[in-house]
Structure 1
């Protein structure tokens, strides 16, 4: 099942796709253009992975990490489908990152990899923009690189885990102004979803609504003001964003 969160006429609703319209949780149907899309979940702790695809690490001339390279993101960073992300005036390189986002569904601590999927509620798409000018190095990304307001579109849909047969074999693609600029597969992650859940839960409690952004494959290029960026993951849909 796919579900979204939207704002319409001053209220917030859950929404489902019904042919070419959205059916709100109050029964009303509207077009996609009539609503403001919100992140499909209300995020709690967000863990983000750096250099979790071998080809992306090679692209940046970095060695792949020997254990997950994890940093945290604040709730201020997230916006919904069709949102707008600002490019700072002093930035010379701002690039998209198409990422599979894993939503934790049950509280857990010290879970084994073999049981990790039991604690996943579902999945969505993240576009975790990076502002390369502020980067000290990929092993220690500072706050300005990954925590600027509205810098991480999320959505449009939350997709139940039961609807995704193999989350470790999904195609990812990014389009800028209609041109395909990035393509990869989740099967190429260095640290897969079960490994990440075991790793994180090994030293802290994971809670419902926690989010794991699993990294991006190679193919990240600079984006400009006015660019329309679409990040797409097989089975999850397309997430649209505009740079302003």
Structure 2
């Protein structure tokens, strides 16, 4: 019925190294198949459009780095607190807007490093969260060839999967360190979903990563 479709706003841009256009185009058809009207914005001014944000059920952001103004961050935070879902992967969501404490508080984590660059590593589902709808039925562990994110996080995230950075000869950390790789977060009436793998476009086609992201988008949506 006309007028009943959910709306997803795809906000993409920032550093070209994460291929924001090509990456998001992998998921726009999925959103449409799920009944979303999709609006694409290549400007952060979408967040200041209060009418648009009030009618948006999901924001899919792929914007690495960048310097938003206070109004843009406030617009996003206001929408999420009111119930708009917020989702993304890799630097498009956890390496966005490094200079904005308000954004970092919203997301609950910040990229710090990717030791070893692109390499094969393991993502492990947290056993206690294995029945969560985003990771249910996935193998307990699977490998990806991608950047392995070292992230600084706060305790209000619900971690669904982790990855462990090893301690190699010459590393200044002396034991392996485990970090969140997939998590959810509730902020006001809104839901937030983050998947840290996704530096390389082929990673987004790994079946387990594709499944996690698609389910995460649906979970986060209003």
Higher strand share: 1
- TM-score range for the pair, normalised by the shorter chain length: under 0.3
Relative contact order (alpha carbons < 8 A, sep ≥ 6): 1 or 2 greater? 1
Higher helix share: 2
Give the TM-score, by structure 2 length. 0.28
Give the TM-score, by structure 1 length. 0.26
